[in-house]
Amino acid sequence: MTDERSRLRATFDGAALLYDEARPGSPDALFDDVVSLSGIPSGGRILEIGCGTGQATAPFARRGYRILCVELGGNLAAVARRNLAAHPKVEVRTGDFEEYPLRENYFDLAVSATAFHWLDNSTR
């Protein structure tokens, strides 16, 4: 990944609160479709790549899923932890997903609402 691309993918972290306020949410029907089409079991485990402030995490959390979020930005992760505090099955970790140690065959579903395009091509 180029230095410029690395810098750009980290820019949202500098304005985490503004990002949380300005970013539009997604309709609940979208999350219903993801659940239905993926076949994730009730109470299943979700890996979320780049949760940002947790806007796409909350709809899955409200459905009772256990979620591990790996967020690159420390400020974004802090806002996500605040926003998701009412959901004890959600854990937000700060780190680079591409280097984050994950258990193999542990998750039922991997999602990335708005961060997938920031991953290196070989990781995607």
Instruction: Say if 32 falls within a structural domain.
Output: no
d(CA 62, CA 89): 10
pLDDT tens digits for 14-42?
Answer: 888 888 888 888 999 999 999 999 999 99
99 or 29, which is more confident = 29
Question: What's the pLDDT tens digit per position in 37-85?
Answer: 999 999 999 999 999 999 999 999 999 999 999 998 999 999 999 999 9
For 12, the 3-state DSSP assignment is helix
pLDDT of residue 83: 97
DSSP line for 51-117:
-TTSTTHHHHHHTT-EEEEEES-HHHHHHHHHHTTT-TTEEEEES-GGG----TT--SEEE-SS-GG
Give CA–CA dist 8/86, Å, rounded: 31
Number of domains making up the chain: 1
What does the pLDDT read at residue 85?
Answer: 98
For residue 77, is it within any domain?
A: yes
Contact 109, 43 (CB under 8 A): no
CATH number of residue 80's parent domain? 3.40.50.150
Domain that includes residue 8, residue range: 3-23+43-118
> What pLDDT score does 117 carry?
66
34 belongs to a structural domain: no
